[in-house]
């Protein structure tokens, strides 16, 4: 049973941007005005829908609908791309019977091509017909590109005033190294929460979930997580205790989605949980964790189930984090591998073999330099990743 928040309807349409007969437009409609929050890519090149979302949220942090299309990113498309993005808001608003400035747009797909507006115009009326018959899962499927499964998480939490529901969905399998957000994600709740608090909750959750994973170190131009809180439960999250409970529930939803992204990494077979502790600061711990999680040599060793820990240490050494090499302690799957500048005298290959065969591999480092820590989820690097990305457009 999925606990879908009250007061939302869903719609999908098949425009044929990349393949015929596949839903590639999705719409989420809140039955009333909802507090709206967003976190966006820090890439200097920002896609048209990112720019439009930021503009709309700056004007008014409320919205009625979230719109997504897959197959075309509408990034690096200049003024024409912005005009096209605004035109899609008109088309979707007309289908849903609301105003264009109440719709927040998102797009994902190939960078650099203009939206196929004829296909958009032809498909938009389907959204109106679909509204109320489609499910949240249908929207999660419509936003997929190279994803092999839809990413979905739904939880409920009992606030002092009553139960509220939080639902999250996202897409993402490649060009994944979110910076303040990931490839498209939506979070919905029926809690009644002020827009400014809702934004704080989303930022808090995104920093600890989508911003703590990597597939290939490539931050997209379209990364966006949008969140609506429509209050349809008539349960308010206004007091500190309620806000905290809601925040932890949103975080749990976002972390589940984040795990699913790494699990579905393009060609991926592993999820490495890389924890760096004892760093001079959290930022230094993140620097170290990302150097390891993005190292092609560490990632290929993971793929090969090879406990080649020297590559982890070498990546740490070039990360820019400050520490004394003699103070570093490395464990893999709980097995002590390296300390005091040299390897454990045990037969490491034999001891580590079982951990390396699991889908989830725990890599823990203590730098012995302070109290900063960071945990990164990282995928491995496989032949299938190369196949997918060498031929993506063909």
> What minimum distance in Å lies between the beta carbon of 325 and a second copy?
5
Which residues in the 41-70 window bind a second copy by CB under 8 A? Answer: 42-46
39-69: buried (b, 16+ CB within 10 Å) or exposed (e) per residue? bbbebeebbbbbbbbeebbeeebbbbbbbbb
Q: Of 11-19, 31-39, 157-165, 308-316, which part binds a second copy (CB under 8 A)?
A: 308-316
Which residues in the 309-328 window bind a second copy by CB under 8 A? Answer: 309-311, 313-318, 323, 325
Q: Which is nearer to a second copy, 306 or 362 (CB)?
A: 306
Contact between 303 and a second copy per CB under 8 A: yes
Asked whether the beta carbons of 316 and 292 are under 8 A apart, the reply is yes
> What minimum distance in Å lies between the beta carbon of 194 and a second copy?
33
Contact between 216 and a second copy per CB under 8 A: yes
Contact between 358 and a second copy per CB under 8 A: no
d(CA 38, CA 57): 8
Binding mask 110-129 for a second copy (x = CB under 8 A): xxxx----------------
> Which of 34, 37, 73, 265 is the binder for a second copy (CB under 8 A)?
73
- Catalytic site residue 182? yes
d(CA 66, CA 346): 55
Contact between 163 and a second copy per CB under 8 A: no
Asked whether the beta carbons of 225 and 176 are under 8 A apart, the reply is no
> Which of 32, 97, 160, 304 is the binder for a second copy (CB under 8 A)?
304
Give residue 227's Cα distance to chain centre: 13
Pick the catalytic residue: 182, 189, 221, 375? 182
Give residue 16's Cα distance to chain centre: 25
165 - beta bridge partners?
156
> Which of 55, 163, 218, 346 is the binder for a second copy (CB under 8 A)?
218
* DSSP type of residue 212: G
Contact between 9 and a second copy per CB under 8 A: no
Contact between 386 and a second copy per CB under 8 A: yes
Question: The tokens of 253 are what?
Answer: 């939803």
Neighbours of 340 (CB within 10 A): 11
Contact between 365 and a second copy per CB under 8 A: no
User: 291: helix, coil or strand?
Assistant: helix
Q: Is 363 left (phi over 0), alpha (psi -120 to 50) or beta?
A: beta
CA 286 to each of CA 289, 310, 331: distance values in angstroms, whole numbers, following the listed order: 5, 20, 18
**Active-site amino acid positions:** 182
Residues that bind a second copy (CB under 8 A): 42-46, 73, 75-81, 110-113, 174-175, 177, 179, 216-221, 294-297, 300-301, 303-304, 306, 308-311, 313-318, 323, 325, 338, 340-343, 381-383, 385-387, 389-394
């Amino acid at each position: 049973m999925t606990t879908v928040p009250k007061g939302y309807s869903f719609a999908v349409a098949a425009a044929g941007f990349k393949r015929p007969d596949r839903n590639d437009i999705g719409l989420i409609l809140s039955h009333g005005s909802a507090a709206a929050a967003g976190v966006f890519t820090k890439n200097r090149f920002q896609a048209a829908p990112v720019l439009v979302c930021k503009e709309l949220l700056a004007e008014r942090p409320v919205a009625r609908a979230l719109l997504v299309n897959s197959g075309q990113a509408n990034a690096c498309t200049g003024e024409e791309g912005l005009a096209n993005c605004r035109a899609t808001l008109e088309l979707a608003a007309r289908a849903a019977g609301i105003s264009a400035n109440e719709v927040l747009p998102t797009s994902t797909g190939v960078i650099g091509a203009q939206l196929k507006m004829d296909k958009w115009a032809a498909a938009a009326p389907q959204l109106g017909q679909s509204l109320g018959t489609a499910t949240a899962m249908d929207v999660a499927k419509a936003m997929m590109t190279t994803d092999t499964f839809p990413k979905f998480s739904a939880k409920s939490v009992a606030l002092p005033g009553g139960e509220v529901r939080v639902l999250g969905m996202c897409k993402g399998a490649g060009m994944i190294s979110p910076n303040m957000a990931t490839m498209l994600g939506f979070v919905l709740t029926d809690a009644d929460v002020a827009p400014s608090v809702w934004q704080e909750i989303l930022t808090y959750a995104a920093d600890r979930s989508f911003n703590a994973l990597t597939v290939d170190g490539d931050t997209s131009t379209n990364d966006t997580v949008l969140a609506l809180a429509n209050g349809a439960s008539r349960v308010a999250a206004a007091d500190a205790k309620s806000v905290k409970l809601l925040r932890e529930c949103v975080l749990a939803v976002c972390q589940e989605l984040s795990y699913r992204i790494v699990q579905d990494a393009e060609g991926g077979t592993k999820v490495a949980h890389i924890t760096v502790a004892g760093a001079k600061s959290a930022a230094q711990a993140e620097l170290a964790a990302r150097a390891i999680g993005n190292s092609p040599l560490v990632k290929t060793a993971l793929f090969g189930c090879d406990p080649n820990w020297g590559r982890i240490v070498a990546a740490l050494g070039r990360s820019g984090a400050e520490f004394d090499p003699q103070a570093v302690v490395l464990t893999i799957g709980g097995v002590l591998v390296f300390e005091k500048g040299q390897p454990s005298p045990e037969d490491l290959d034999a001891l580590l073999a079982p951990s390396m065969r699991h889908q989830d591999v725990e890599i823990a480092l203590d730098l012995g330099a302070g109290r900063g820590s960071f945990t990164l989820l990282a995928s491995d690097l496989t032949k299938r990743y190369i196949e997918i990305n060498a031929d993506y457009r063909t």
